[in-house]
Amino acid sequence: MTGAAGLLSGAVVPLVTPMSAPGVPSAEAGEPLLAAMASVGVRRLMLLGSNGEGPLIPAEVSGEFVAGVVKRWRELVPAGTILVNVTAPGTAEAERRADAAAAGADAIVASPPTFFKHRDDEVVAHFAALGRHGLPVVAYNTPRSTLLTKAAADSLVAMPHMAGVKDSSGDPDLLRYLLSIARPGFEVSQGDEKQLADALRAGAHGITPGIANLAPGLALEMVAPSTDLDQLSRSFRPP
């Protein structure tokens, strides 16, 4: 890993959203999960994004959930970090989600607007607008929406409020390019679980794998400075 510790350094757990009923996120229901994460040494969480459920949860109920998780996580891990996914079909809805759900969070995370494909200038304008909310912004590059191009990435890195990229594109060339243009304060995290070790070898600042919900200790081990990634990879190969 390279660079100073920041929002995406090390392992970020994209926490599965605990619910008290279908479609109703609940910080109280998530208490055992939060306690388990803290007990193994997890320090960074990303809410409302692990299984793509974030955009399906109404902003009106997500705010209370985020506030509850933030409060409890600050008690469990006083120096911990919480990022909140505010991805939505359009910029106006993403901004509404940022206002409703990100109170107390350390940063917001967003993909380009979903459903339609967008030009580079539209993607850049989307992330520029999210800077109005006073929080660092992490771009979530996922194949389920418009993928970032190198040209768009150049523009995002130039924005002071942009703190990094969670890259789940599965494109090693793009990840290397993101690393090559990253400035101090802009970090790159690998979200594609099939390429975690390769990304760390290439210099990625961290990883954000959904599987960390099931194996947080392993995710932390992967990003530990003393870890031999080749040996760790071999230990998980079938005989």
Query: pLDDT for 202-214, tens place per residue?
Result: 999 999 999 999 9
Total number of domains in the chain: 1
Q: Is residue 4 part of a domain?
A: no
In three-state secondary structure terms, 137 is strand
pTM of the entire structure? 0.91
Q: Is residue 3 part of a domain?
A: no
**What span, in angstroms and rounded, lies between the C-alpha atoms of 145 and 164?**
18
Average pLDDT in the 122-145 region? 92
Q: Is residue 156 part of a domain?
A: yes
Split at pLDDT 50, 70, 90, the class of 16 is very high
String of DSSP letters for 186-237: -EEEE--GGGHHHHHHHT-SEE--GGGGT-HHHHHHHHSTT--HHHHHHHTS
- 56 versus 19: the higher-pLDDT residue is 19
Q: Is residue 2 part of a domain?
A: no
| CATH code (residue 29) | 3.20.20.70
73-129 per-position pLDDT tens digit = 999 999 999 999 999 989 999 999 998 877 789 999 999 988 778 899 999 999 999
* pLDDT score of 236 more than 60: no
How many Å separate Cα 239 from the centre of its chain?
A: 33
